Amino acid sequence: MATKRTVIVTGFEPFGDHTVNASWVAVQELERLGLGQSVDLYVCEVPVEYQAVQSLLPSLWKQHQPQLVVHVGVSGIATTVTLEKCGHNHGYKRVDNCSFCPDSQCCMDGGPDCIDSVIDMDLVCKRVNSSRLGVAVSVSKDAGRYLCDYTYYTSLYLGKGRSAFVHVPPLEKPYSAQDLGRALQAVVGEMLELVGQSEDDDHDHHHYSHQHHQHAH
CATH number at residue 143: 3.40.630.20
Phi, psi of 203 (to 5 degrees): -85, -35
Instruction: Give the model confidence (pLDDT) of 141-196 as tens digits.
Output: 999 999 999 999 999 999 999 999 999 999 999 999 999 999 999 999 999 999 97
Is 157 domain-assigned?
yes
CB–CB of 26/38 below 8 Å?
no
- Annotated catalytic residue within 86, 107, 125, 148: 148
Is 20 domain-assigned?
yes
Helix/strand/coil for 134: coil
Is 135 domain-assigned?
yes
DSSP 18: B
Residue 214: predicted pLDDT:
36
Q: Confirm whether 44 is a catalytic residue.
A: no
Instruction: Give the model confidence (pLDDT) of 18-77 as tens digits.
Output: 999 999 999 999 999 999 999 999 999 999 999 999 999 999 999 999 999 999 999 999
Give percent helix, percent strand, percent coil of the chain, each to the nearest 5. Answer: 40, 20, 40
Residue 2: predicted pLDDT:
61
Is 217 domain-assigned?
no
- Annotated catalytic residue within 49, 84, 125, 190: 84
Q: How many structural domains is the chain composed of?
A: 1
Residue 196: predicted pLDDT:
79
Q: Confirm whether 114 is a catalytic residue.
A: no
Q: Which of 52, 140, 48 is nearest to 94 (CA)?
A: 48
Is 63 domain-assigned?
yes
Task: Give the pTM.
Answer: 0.90
Buried b / exposed e along 111-130 (16+ C-beta atoms within 10 A): beeebebbbbbeebbebbbe
Q: Distance (Å, rounded) from C-alpha 23 to C-alpha 194?
A: 23
Is 61 domain-assigned?
yes
Mean per-residue pLDDT for 189-208? 67
Domain hosting 199: range is: 5-212
